[in-house]
Amino acid sequence: MQREPLNIKFVIPAMPGFFSLSLLYDEKDQIIDACKEPVVGWAIDQYNIVCPVTPDNIDEDALATLNPDGTVQSPCGSWDSLGDWLAEQKVSRG
């Protein structure tokens, strides 16, 4: 199934301390860590879905967001820490 292209309505700046999260894998395809990209803005699309904007792109594939207070949130839930989120990713994807 092909994904519909983003139709961004507007972008707003992000406060410092937010990071877009993705997973880092080793050569055996095992999760070894999280990759953190600083969020510089938030893009809102035609469905009012918010995507983090990093210095490189609009990260529509971000798995989760690390907040300035150390908590992690995603469309699937929230965690008290990056370590908690990463541990759950290793179990659910491992």
Q: Quick: pLDDT tens for 19-50.
A: 999 999 999 999 999 999 999 999 998 888 89
pTM for this prediction: 0.88
Give per-residue pLDDT as tens, 3-23: 677 788 999 999 999 999 999
> At 89, which amino acid appears?
Q
Q: What is the CA radius of gyration of the chain?
A: 14
> In the chain, count of helices (H) and strands (E)?
1, 8
User: Minimal CA–CA distance to 10: which of 49, 66, 38?
Assistant: 49
